[in-house]
Amino acid sequence: MTERIVLDCDPGHDDALAMILAAGDPRVELLAVTTCAGNQTLPKVTRNALAVCAVAGIEVPVAAGAVGPLVRPQMVAPEIHGESGLDGPVLPEATLELDPRHAVDVIIDVVMAAEPGTVTLVPTGPLTNIALAMRKEPAIVERVKRVVLMGGSYTRGNKTPTAEFNIAADPEAASAVFSAPWPVTMVGLDLTHQATADADVVARIEAIGSPLSSFVVDVLEFFGSTYREQQGFTDGPPVHDLCCVAWLCDPEVFTTQEAFVAVELTGTWTNGMTVTDFAGLFGRPNNTDVAITLDKPRLWDMTVDAIASLSARTEGAVR
């Protein structure tokens, strides 16, 4: 059975890879792409989403959403993703028109039009759009199959010692998403730091020899350079967001463990921390499947296959 998904993202190098896998793997059906301010401002990440659609031949509704977080001042990440939010590759002109609806309405429309329990939400940026959609149409909570989000960590953060960027950027929205009674999978840094795009992966992608594969190589090279400089990743950048889509293609790609997860909103030093209680110490029911261990070869095999398959589909792409 194919997993039908809405990808809510802030492209973003790893968001771009998530889009490409979602479009190129037959086990997932990409229903819509929605954007949220995060790695860069909303106009920039939306432009980037449309550029990825152009290069990968993706033809689904793309809608722009929240311009900033629910409560806190905006945070962007030029030190990782550059001034455009997707520095490195030449970005093609958009071939799709932006959907005139707000992202929140696209999320609601897709979920409410589908059979209950058949649509999975995949947020790979701050959770602002998802929280706003829940508030605008609470009925989505019981109709969504699952939320598979990239964010958080049960060990260390990357924005602060305890907070990961997507959660730190809009902790109130994240708290609403974790607290709602829908199944949540947290694909946090503990998992995604295992998903590095090493030199052999880049070489395999380059060998496909298409405009799309060259684009992906440029994406990974820029992302690799900032991760090397900023966070000391010498073996390639961790392609966080890709892991969410990969798990929906094949649940064997990582293991999970149940826990109660709460987002810290009032800590002196710990705002945005995903406090993860595996041992039931708070006496609260588990609300999250937490990603633990990655099968890295499986992740990159399916990603290389998806790039090759999209390359074959796009006009004159394979040389």
Q: Which residues are catalytic?
A: 240
Cis peptide before 283 (omega within 30 of 0): no
Segment lying near ligand BDR (by CB under 6 A), choices 19-27, 58-66, 162-170, 264-272: 162-170
Cα separations in angstroms, 211 against 25, 49, 60, 215, 304: 18, 17, 20, 6, 14
103 vs 120: CA distance, rounded Å: 15
Pattern 241-280, binding to Ca ion, x per CB under 5 A? x---------------------------------------
Task: Name the binder of 105 from ligand BDR, Ca ion, none, CB < 5-8 A by kind.
Answer: none
Q: Binding of Ca ion at residue 151 (CB under 5 A)?
A: no
Q: C-beta of 39: minimal distance to ligand BDR in Å?
A: 5
Q: Binding of ligand BDR at residue 35 (CB under 6 A)?
A: no
Going by C-beta distance under 8 Å and a sequence separation of 6 or more, which residues neighbour residue 68?
37, 42, 74, 128
Q: Binding of ligand BDR at residue 165 (CB under 6 A)?
A: yes
Q: Binding of Ca ion at residue 170 (CB under 5 A)?
A: no
Give the three-state DSSP class for 240: coil
Task: Name the binder of 287 from ligand BDR, Ca ion, none, CB < 5-8 A by kind.
Answer: none
Cα separations in angstroms, 252 against 166, 291, 293: 25, 11, 10
Q: Which of 5, 7, 150, 184 binds ligand BDR (CB under 6 A)?
A: 150
End-to-end CA distance of the chain: 33
| Tokens read off for 284 | 């609260």
Segment lying near ligand BDR (by CB under 6 A), choices 9-17, 25-33, 252-260, 308-316: 9-17
Q: Binding of Ca ion at residue 46 (CB under 5 A)?
A: no
Q: C-beta of 11: minimal distance to ligand BDR in Å?
A: 8
Q: Which of 15, 25, 99, 109 binds ligand BDR (CB under 6 A)?
A: 15
185 vs 191: CA distance, rounded Å: 12
Cα separations in angstroms, 205 against 218, 221, 302, 308, 319: 11, 12, 11, 8, 13
78 vs 290: CA distance, rounded Å: 28
8 vs 27: CA distance, rounded Å: 19
Q: Which of 164, 170, 190, 289 binds ligand BDR (CB under 6 A)?
A: 164
* Amino acid (1-letter code) at residue 210: S
Q: Which of 166, 175, 196, 213 binds ligand BDR (CB under 6 A)?
A: 166
Q: Binding of Ca ion at residue 12 (CB under 5 A)?
A: yes
Residues that bind Ca ion (CB under 5 A): 10, 12, 15, 124-125, 241
Residues that bind ligand BDR (CB under 6 A): 12, 14-15, 39, 77, 80, 124-125, 150, 158, 164-166, 240-241
